[in-house]
Chain A
Amino acid sequence: MAESRDGKMAEHSDPNAPWVTFAGMATTAITAALFVFFLQYLPVVAAGAPVLWTWDWIPSLQIRMSFWLDGLSLMFALLITGIGAFVMLYAARYLAGHPHYNRFALYLFSFMLSMLGLVLADNLITLFVFWELTTFTSYLLIGFSHTDPKSRRNALQALLLTAAGGLALLAGFILIGVTQGTFELSELNAAGSLAGQPYYTGILILVLLGAFTKSAQVPFHFWLPNAMAAPTPVSAYLHSATMVKGGVYLLARMHPSLSGSDAWVWALTIFGAITAVFASFMALRQIDLKQTLAYTTLMALGTLTMFLAGSSGYAITAAMTFLLVHSLYKACLFLTIGVVDHATGTRDADVLGGLARAMPITATMAALAGLAMAGIPPFLGFIAKEVAYAGALTMAFTVFVVLMSFAAFALMFAVAAIVAYRPFFGPQGALPRKPHEGPWPMLIGPVTMAVLGLLAGLMPGVSAYWLVEPAVAAVMGAPDEGGRLKLWAGFNLPLVLSLLTFAVGFYLYRVHVELRARLARIEAQAPDLDARWDWLLDRFMDFAKLQTRVIQTGVMRQYLFATFTVLALAILVPLVMRPVGGVTLALAGLSFIEWGVALLILAGTFLVVLTSSRIAALVGLGVVGIGVALIFIIYSAPDVAITQLLVELLVVVLLAVALLKMPHLDPGRKQEHRPADAFLAVVVGALTTIVLLLVVDGPFDRRLTDFFEAASWTEAFGRNIVNVILVDFRTLDTFGEIAVVIVAALGAYALLKGGLKRGTEGEAEKGDRE
């Protein structure tokens, strides 16, 4: 308990701190500008003309930076930028005076951009890159209160789970690209369903794994409520329009290509329905209002997934309408809960009550959003529920889907009352602080979203024409007949179901305190996936430690022995497998100098092997190196020879400095493994010689040499071919090499410099674990 209070103290702002900062205002302004930018595409897209922007990224792999703006992506883009702008303004006020506010603004803004890229991407690989970016930025956001171990742990959990799903998704995307010959979503969707084609099942499973982990479907749901460790504006953003909807977006986006099979219908219906109902019960069970909202998000995701299982116009319209409604009311409610928390210092459902008098605007907005959530006419939420029932009646497993959506909607009605009615109009408990109305930057967002939710319901035709129907057309791959969004659709089965929902929901609200106790008892007996996760991670760490103990012995000789054994085998096996052929060793043509160099190298080698002084051995190695450099000079490769000589020199000098301080080699201990070492050395040497002789035996391919000789002057204006290859023809390789030089140098530097600090680091690690 003390922990969460500390977290909250850190999360909240100083009310007198200036909140108009460059970081906050710039990000808000840019996001708002993006919203306006996307707004101007509404008429084009509503008229049925998608917009495509492309830029070749890696053309040889068919990877393009391509963006596709149709009804679906436009609706998401508007939600992301619109809600994003309000959330950023809200955050500026909410976290005013926080020492890390600028960092927060950067994270939130990057997250917004990644999400925008995700929903606009047309190329699957581009989409994947943005997908991973959202995972990464949300990790930073969830772990924003990084001094709190719980927050770090939850951030890591979200990262690991969604990144694991992301890997599956990448595999699925590559399978699609390889089998279909294109990575462009617009082309894939135009080509119709992949059902029945080879690898369809594999693709479906992989893509669903990615989407379900991202959208927190059961059994991957547990990271989402834990992500509540993030500050309230993040929760609002993460859970309303964005991150978690990424998975739903993907399902909707790929609906034309992946639906149309029983597997799709089964998987989405079952996982979606279970998630929806499970989450609604869990929402009822929570005491912390933020947790309650987190579970209702889960419920919404489940419902959306379930409706995307269908292919009828009603089912898809239901999904798209519900998506819109949910984004508006959920963001609004999260933000109002944040205002309440900010003003009263608590989010406890049992304590909060009667706040309407002190916070009239917040109360009104929460009420509007709550009515939308409960699905009361004339809010868009009501229409969404009507369409959802109508859609459920058209889907496969009709009775199951109708029952499950009925349960979810009824529970949601009760939860809406708990979240939006009780804190403001219910009985008041002992509040930690005297409540007061929130400041305007924290109210403008909820006000706008709540009012929009109401207006959209009052003018269903407008919202349908501009937003819902283009999105439905994009998901279905063809324009739907339209006109499904009506406030009064006549006296029919959906209306009856709606009325029943209200009745059952009202009853559930009346008994919710007793119900919560009962649910808590059930939960105590059910397996706790969150704890299982920790158990799994711990076992994984144990395995890693075991593996390190076995493989990393810390004895240099054993590492080298293993390396050279593998090398010997790698040479030996192909050598034995190849057709038999003779190897000729022509020693007759060697000149006097060449014999001399060979003898020099041999002498150096014997010195290394026989001496018991480290310095002498080092000098012996230096002699070998210089001998090799001489060979390079004889065969006129001056650049390589110079480099070899200099490196040899450096190694000898550097090691000499270090070796001076080390004891003599221990001759007694050395003897026992010497036979094995000698055997391995001889084998590797012999094999290498044979391979080299075989290489020399074959005809020499001069094509590359000829090309570089000819092109080095005409194309790169250089006469030194080696250097021209390094800095012009193969620049990227060189760049990689110098990057390796830096990494190696920094690694060695850290080892040398860090050795002394190890004791204190170990202490810190131990303290962390406690």
Chain B
Amino acid sequence: MNSIIFTAGARILVALLFVFSLFMLLRGHHLPGGGFIGGLLGAISFIVYALACGSGEARAALRVSPEGLAIVGLGVALAAGMVSVFFGDPLFTGQWYWVGGDSYETALFSINSVLVFDIGVYLVVLGGILSLAFAFDEET
């Protein structure tokens, strides 16, 4: 699509969409969002970029290969699930560590394996869809 308006607008739109995808990922635990939705949004942002500027440039903007990203995501999710084994819980049990307190109410924030798992989901969805989309664009 060789529209200057679209190309120029896409750059801003893409950045916004991508930041929004991260926002959706992070807020997912309490409000609508999460890894799946975030990943889909992230993928859409790059697809818009690919439509505006070509998939070659979108690949360059992503910096890493989408297939690799998806596999790393699976690894991250698996690693998040394995953490529980070291604490004596069954596989894939969520682990929570409270910073500045000892429960959800008193702590400033938490470090937990659940969010890490969701980040893995995000990466898989993002990488999986993008590897498809880029290949699609390059093939047709």
Given contacts A719-B31, A738-B120, 10 further A-B contacts (CB under 8 A): A650-B47, A716-B94, A717-B112, A722-B32, A723-B28, A723-B118, A727-B94, A744-B128, A745-B129, A753-B135
In the complex, the answer to whether A746 meets B28 with C-beta atoms within 8 Å is no
B78 contacts across to A, CB distance below 8 A: 735
B120 contacts across to A, CB distance below 8 A: 738
A650 to B28, CA, bound (A): 21
Residues of A within 8 A of B (CB): 638-639, 642-643, 646-647, 649-650, 653-654, 657-658, 660-661, 716-720, 722-724, 726-728, 731-732, 734-735, 738-739, 741-742, 744-746, 748-749, 752-753, 755
Q: Which of A646, A654, A722, A744 has the most CB of B within 10 A?
A: A646
Q: Is B132 an interface residue (CB 8 A)?
A: yes
Q: Which of A643, A734, A744 has the most CB of B within 10 A?
A: A734
In the complex, the answer to whether B140 meets A731 with C-beta atoms within 8 Å is no
Q: How far is the CB of B14 from chain A (nearest CB, A)?
A: 14
| Given A735-B81, A748-B135, A752-B135, A654 contacting B47 (CB threshold 8 A) | yes
Within the complex, which residue of B34, B47, B91 is in contact with A727, where a contact is CB–CB below 8 Å? B34
Q: How far is the CB of A709 from chain B (nearest CB, A)?
A: 14
Q: How far is the CB of A62 from chain B (nearest CB, A)?
A: 17
| Given A639-B34, A731-B81, A749 contacting B135 (CB threshold 8 A) | yes
The B interface is mostly helix, strand or loop, or mixed, namely helix
B71 contacts across to A, CB distance below 8 A: 742
Residues of B within 8 A of A (CB): 28-37, 40-41, 43-44, 47, 51, 67, 70-71, 73-74, 77-78, 81, 91-92, 94, 96, 104, 110, 112, 114-115, 117-118, 120-121, 124-125, 127-129, 131-133, 135-137, 139-140
A722 contacts across to B, CB distance below 8 A: 32, 34
In the complex, the answer to whether B136 meets A738 with C-beta atoms within 8 Å is no
A643 to B44, CA, bound (A): 12
| Given A724-B29, A738-B125, A717 contacting B96 (CB threshold 8 A) | yes
A719 to B30, CA, bound (A): 4
Q: How far is the CB of A168 from chain B (nearest CB, A)?
A: 31
| Given A719-B31, A745-B70, A755 contacting B139 (CB threshold 8 A) | yes
A649 contacts across to B, CB distance below 8 A: 44
* A-B pairs with lowest CB-CB distance, top 9: A745-B128, A731-B92, A646-B40, A638-B32, A723-B34, A719-B30, A738-B124, A718-B29, A752-B135
B140 contacts across to A, CB distance below 8 A: 657-658, 660-661
B29 contacts across to A, CB distance below 8 A: 717-720, 723-724, 727
| Residue contacts A-B, CB under 8 angstroms, 10 given | A650-B44, A650-B47, A717-B96, A718-B30, A724-B29, A726-B34, A731-B92, A742-B127, A745-B131, A745-B132
In the complex, the answer to whether B117 meets A727 with C-beta atoms within 8 Å is yes
In the complex, the answer to whether A643 meets B96 with C-beta atoms within 8 Å is no
Q: How far is the CB of A189 from chain B (nearest CB, A)?
A: 31
In the complex, the answer to whether A654 meets B132 with C-beta atoms within 8 Å is yes
Chain B minimum-CB-distance residue to A658:
B140
